[in-house]
Amino acid sequence: MAEPILKVSDINVYYGSIHAIKGVSFEVYEGEVVTLIGANGAGKSTTLNTISGLLHPSSGGISFFGEDLLRVPPHKIVERGLAQVPEGRRIFLHMTVKENLEMGAYTREARGASGVGEDIEKVYGLFPRLKERKRQQAGTLSGGEQQMLAMGRALMSRPKLLMLDEPSMGLAPILVEQIFDIIGDLHRGGATILLVEQNARMALSVASRGYVLETGKVVTTGTGEELLASPAIKKAYLGG
Ligand code: ATP
């Protein structure tokens, strides 16, 4: 089998004396959608924020395309092709939709890459709602539209790995379905995605593979289908 593009090896992360991540290891291969599921506080966001360089593990390793990511500052990690859509979206509320998308291309413009206009059109193709609202201030968008904008903005960096932190959070069921449909479209288009979700059923239904986190540890792993069919997972995470 090919080498994984992301390899997380036995990381430990503390917040002061709180041991939030206890020896977590997992891999993501090119073209996969991998999901990390688990209850509130299991350590999913902490894991993503450690990969994107916002937090530092006290031990363990993280490599991306075979290169060590530890001690690489977050903006350099983005330049290497790893884009994160954070929990709570964090879009630029006072800019228009189009300006937010242009900001997403900033790191590749710094590298001299062109094609920003074309990529904005691609994002509008994925999210027609954003096209309709391209001149609207982002702060006036609905929660679902803001999630679409945050995903579109991350795609503008042409990431090799897209990390999504709880994209379904706070959204009405119909919008949750739309967001997961788009994740499925991105997957079929060849994107590699690391997806953190509390909505285990939706996440596992789009995932190639999943890892279950409990109190800072990986307790189970398998394909999306295997985990969806597992009685223990059904009982603990899928409502019986
Ligand atoms: P959620 O879905 O609620 O965000 P999660 O699985 O993403 O849950 P984390 O946010 O990664 O979980 O939290 C893991 C553990 O670390 C929890 O026990 C949490 O209370 C703790 N924690 C998270 N952030 C901090 C912080 N800034 N300071 C102290 N402890 C924290």
Tell me if 45 CB under 6 Å of ligand 1.
yes
Tell me if 215 CB under 6 Å of ligand 1.
no
Which architecture, in CATH terms, is 1-81+159-240?
A: 3-Layer(aba) Sandwich (3.40)
Residue 13 CA, ligand 1 centroid: distance in Å: 11
Is the model's pLDDT at 88 over the cut of 80?
no
Cα distances (angstroms) measured from residue 208 to each of 33, 76, 114, 187, 223: 5, 28, 32, 9, 6
pLDDT tens-place string over residues 182-220: 999 999 999 999 999 989 999 999 999 999 999 999 999
Tell me if 17 CB under 6 Å of ligand 1.
no
Residue 43 CA, ligand 1 centroid: distance in Å: 6
- Identity of the residue numbered 172: A
- Determine what percent of the chain is predicted with pLDDT higher than 90: 78
Tell me if 42 CB under 6 Å of ligand 1.
yes
- ipTM for the complex? 0.93
pTM value? 0.92
Closest C-alpha to ligand 1, atom 30: 15
In the chain, what are the domain boundaries? Answer: 1-81+159-240, 92-158
Residue 9 has a CB neighbour count (10 Å cut-off) of 15
pLDDT at 109: 60
Closest C-alpha to ligand 1, atom 3: 40
pLDDT tens-place string over residues 33-57: 999 999 989 999 999 999 999 999 9
Closest C-alpha to ligand 1, atom 29: 15
